[in-house]
Amino acid sequence: MERHVPAAIRSGEIRVWYQPQVDCYTGKVIGAEALCRWKHAKLGWVSPGEFIPVLEEAGLIYELDLYVWDRVCRDLQRWNREGKRRSVSVNLSRFDIRANPDIAGFFRDLLRSYDLTPDQFRIEITETFYVENSAILISTTEQLRAFGFRVEMDDFGSGYSSLHMLKEVPVNRIKLDLHFLTASGDMEKSRTIVSYMVQMIRSLDIEILAEGVETAEQARFLRSRGCSEMQGYYFFKPMPEEEYDKLSEFTEPITG
């Protein structure tokens, strides 16, 4: 698989898709996460859950992410020109930081070269990386913030969600992973945990977005707890850029 990555990027087998994020109070699309998709000539659709870890191991994730970030910047620039100013969240692997220790400076230059402002680029870093590599990730986050980028802690709730990290890491937003929190076990306990997490994160003055929202019931529950930003199959699945382009700015809000 790893041998084919450069060719797959060149030939367009690997593409960037967008999953819209919504504010459930208004139904407004507030952003999107860039997620790559690989339609392999022989294997068909290969999920990022399978190939991202392989690429990370093979030292190739940076190459893929360079392509993804560039593609996102091109799309953002085009939308700006069309008068549709948007912002996009991209995933940053800890191997990207290893490959380029000045990743903050790199992003600053990249965005400048496309005439974009840093607030249009949100950088997602997985919770687990923060716990494993806290010193480097905290300093990277500080640098990114100093340059005006928004930083988000991805998959919160899926690993050893460290309360200490919440205190130490200056992230703008936390992406609460509903899938891990509600996939199994006692639902009443899951709801209590989610409820208090939302309350705690908001009290810390950190923004919160729930990801993996699959049902109206989940959306209504989150809304009732004061979490308004959501991403998940209930609203939209990841979609190719052409489809995201045509998407209307509003969807149905969640009521009561």
Q: What is the DSSP letter of 26?
A: T
Per DSSP, what are the bridge partners of residue 58? none
Per partner kind, with CB cut-offs from 5 to 8 A, the member of ligand C2E, Mg ion, none near residue 49 is ligand C2E
- The region of 64-72, 118-126, 190-198, 219-227 touching Mg ion under the rule CB under 5 A is 118-126
**140-169 residues near ligand C2E, rule: CB under 6 A:** 154-155
Strands 239-240 and 14-23, by their bridges, are antiparallel
Task: In whole angstroms, give the CA distance from residue 51 to residue 49.
Answer: 6
207 binds ligand C2E (CB under 6 A): no
**Least distance (Å) from ligand C2E to the CB of residue 83?**
27
Binding-site member from 22, 36, 171, 239 for ligand C2E (CB under 6 A): 36
Task: Count residues near ligand C2E (CB under 6 A).
Answer: 23
Binding-site member from 20, 31, 118, 238 for ligand C2E (CB under 6 A): 238
What residue type is assigned to position 81 of the chain?
R
**198-217 residues near Mg ion, rule: CB under 5 A:** none
Q: What is the DSSP letter of 250?
A: B
Task: In whole angstroms, give the CA distance from residue 166 to residue 201.
Answer: 8
Q: How many helices (H) and strands (E) does the chain have?
A: 12, 10
What residue type is assigned to position 34 of the chain?
A
229 binds Mg ion (CB under 5 A): no
Per partner kind, with CB cut-offs from 5 to 8 A, the member of ligand C2E, Mg ion, none near residue 8 is none
Determine contact, residues 49/55, Cβ cutoff 8 Å: no
DSSP symbols for 19-36: EEEEETTTTEEEEEEEEE
As a 3-state breakdown, the chain gives helix, strand, coil percent values, each rounded to 5, of 50, 25, 30
Binding-site member from 96, 155, 229, 241 for Mg ion (CB under 5 A): 155
Q: Which is nearer to Mg ion, 76 or 176 (CB)?
A: 176
Q: Which residues bind Mg ion (CB under 5 A)?
A: 91, 124, 154-155
Q: Which residues bind ligand C2E (CB under 6 A)?
A: 19, 35-36, 47-49, 52, 61, 65, 68, 91, 93, 124, 154-155, 179, 211-214, 232-233, 238
